[in-house]
Structure 1
Amino acid sequence: MLAWGSSDRFRICRRERSRLIYRPKRHTDHKSGGRKSFAWSEYRDLLIAAHQQLGGPIVLIWDNLNVHKDRRMRAFIDTHDWITAYHLPPYTPDLNPVEGIWSVLRRTSQANTAFTDPEHLIRRLRHGLRQIQYRSNVIDGCLAATGLARTTPRLKPQ
């Protein structure tokens, strides 16, 4: 199984068929002490849940978000033989399949919508992700657009 991800809090997983595993979260205002993105422990919990759900190894291809490179995240990955992590080169959104998922969402469930409040946005986001979740042809298109393949040579951490 392959998993691609970014700070966007969901992963594209490929096994027999591609699947999307997501966990949207509304964050508190970061200016008053809340976080703008997932903490390393939330990524850890998402990886554990994905591993339990899929029952197989996970290969992560991550962008260079600081949480992805956090020493605790690296230690977690290093102690679990079912996870392999690769980091994309800096500033390469064209290699990140999650960007394709965001593009699909912007053109479908999020298009031409004036959100009334954050909960409205999250409801529409969840709806859009559910629409994509098991449509492996859409997910495969996002994967193919990157030019990355299951046989892509090992990427070096930056």
Structure 2
Amino acid sequence: MGITAAVDRGDLLAWWQGALAGLHAAVEVQSVEAAGPSGGLYASEIFLDEHGQATVFVPVRGPVRSVGGVESLVVPPAELAVVTHHGPLADIDVELGAYVTLHEISVNGPLREYYLRVTRHSTDASHWTTEVGWPIFRADQQPGSHHGPIARP
């Protein structure tokens, strides 16, 4: 299940906190089981143009009712270069993006995050852990072939 909105970069953290809290409340109210860590998808326009589409999600088992902005959502698989960040989300470094761009393996697609340890787990942001995934293409693929994702789908 997920919540999607057009968000200004300056409002992203506050939106994220509210949307993620709403999703976890919906998991409880709808009596569905979380099937993994929550995550987010962020259009590159948020970082390039200061405004773009953001989605936060919680993978669940069971049917989802669309209520209060919460919708059923399928997160598509993706090939990702992944780095694990420890600490506040505001401190996430974009070195990974610079690396994949420099090596010309970056492809269009949203930046992906998985929140392994965040506000629900600790109010101390220095204890948070986030996997950051940058969309890439794999050089070991033949045209038309498909390998599984490097990180979670």
TM-score band by shorter chain is: under 0.3
TM-score normalised to the size of structure 2? Answer: 0.27
TM-score normalised to the size of structure 1? Answer: 0.27
